[in-house]
Chains A and B, each alone.
Chain A
Amino acid sequence: MKRLITAAALATGLATPALADWQATLDAARGQTVYWNAWGGDARTNDFIAWASAQLEADYGVRIEQVKLTDTAEAVSRVISEKAAGQDTGGSVDMIWINGPNFLAMKDQGLLHGPFVADLPNAKYLDLSPTSPNSVDFTTPVDGLESPWRLAKFVFTYDSARVAAPPASMAEFATWAAANPGRVTHPNPSDFMGATFLKQALIELAPDAAALQSPVTDAAFETATAPLWAWYDSLRPNLWRGGAAFPENQSVQDQLLNDGEIDISLSFDPASAAAGIAQGLLPETTRVFVPKGGSLGNVSFVAIPYNAAHIDGAKVVANFLLDPATQAHMQNIEVLGSYSVLDPAKLDDAAKAAFAALPSAPALPKLEDLGATLAEPHASWMTRLAEEWAKRYTK
């Protein structure tokens, strides 16, 4: 209901009371330090956050202190511990880089502040229609409890010096691996990227992809995944190390690609190949491909825990992240290369020009090469998929 009101208000361009209160938020935020709990494994993202902190301090007197996580769930369990201990204000986590299952968990447990997205002035650049990826996170309604900041789209990366023609679809992965045994793998499905690999295959192979949008049931799971397991059983013997060991996460798999142990890796960031080359972490000949039917896509959000100590500061940060200038800076391949979450149709001409002027790189795919964006299945499928995979292949 709230979402509808917000969407309607934005659509008609009415000044809501929340927008009028923005100055009060800015005043309250001045001098605050926002503890942003964000995965810290990517040096470029860490640099970007440091840059954002410097900008914010100059413009609004708000600093960001990045709490570098190895796993987003660390921040979630920290909030839970605080709730368990009865610490309902002044919590240690001000903002979390979040989406998917972690968001669902926090939303279900009532651990989030908000809705607040509608309060952000820069939300006017977002497509917040009910079916937009900004409004639905892994089929869970966002309800204004988390604000988008960067776009994620599933792509494969490969070394073009070693692979002439990468597989064109998930089904073709099996035949490709049979011809090139030991040259491809995927992260352990207990890791987000590993599960995404299976989900991409599930969407392509399932008899009825639409069924994946509803919460999983035993019967639906049985029907939808039967072709997936048949496909996987033919693929697995030809995986790296005979399908008996899997990289812990995407970065480890990227390292295997760089070391020449495998030929194909994967990413949720279309610019990661170009970024990896620029950092010397991937071979110069690394390129990106997407299965011809399109690939999974979702949005990375920031959320504010219900007991955050610096709620106003966190809102100022969330708003700053949606500023067209910030988004253009972020999309710059020399900075982060992360695609913007803003709706190009809602940008003014200056902002459009800023995006158009961004530099390019050979390994950076054009937007049109990325193909269609497939909707994420309901979050319950991912959990179930990872469990079933473990049951079948962990002995």
Chain B
Amino acid sequence: MSLILQDICITPKGGAPLFAPLSLTIAAGQIGAVMGPSGVGKSTLLAAIAGHLPQGFALTGEITLNGARMNSTAPQLRRIGLMFQDALLFPHLSLADNLAFGLPAQIKGKAARKAAVEQALAAAGLAGMGARDPATLSGGERARAALMRSLLAQPQAILLDEPFSKLDTALRAGIRAFAFDHIRARAIPALIVTHDASDAAAAGGPVLNLGGQAG
């Protein structure tokens, strides 16, 4: 089980590549990190891996997950989870329903699904809050809930797009530890993009620096 990026290069239409071709191998249970200042194309890289390359950009290189080439697979079939700095809980659904949204349809039966959601809520320290409107949650609660929603979908890999940058420093380390522990427990490869060196250090996996424009 691994996520392999081979000679990945993203080029805007009629422009220079965003960064020099990059290669990175992340094994199961490992959390890799891509570092770099704002605007260097970190988020675009994650979007490309998840399958959401914006119009007007071209991707070269190979994305391989568990031995399968992902380049032209539809995003919803890649089984790659994605977490943003805004937790992006759906505002029209309750907290529990947001988690149920992530739960695969194969888990059938109202009771079984409810139990799975309750369990995830408890794991995130949100036990008993399932009926809450996501808008009433704190930033930390939202981040934990979003992570649980991603994990409930049983992804084969997970991508984190500066997920902690909006949290205040007091909360930050705790939430980060919570997230990384859960990812490691699933034994799936993960990739975090960040401009904060402490995130990369905590990840403990391979680190790649995107300095800027390729020559």
- Touching chains A and B, CB distance < 8 Å: no
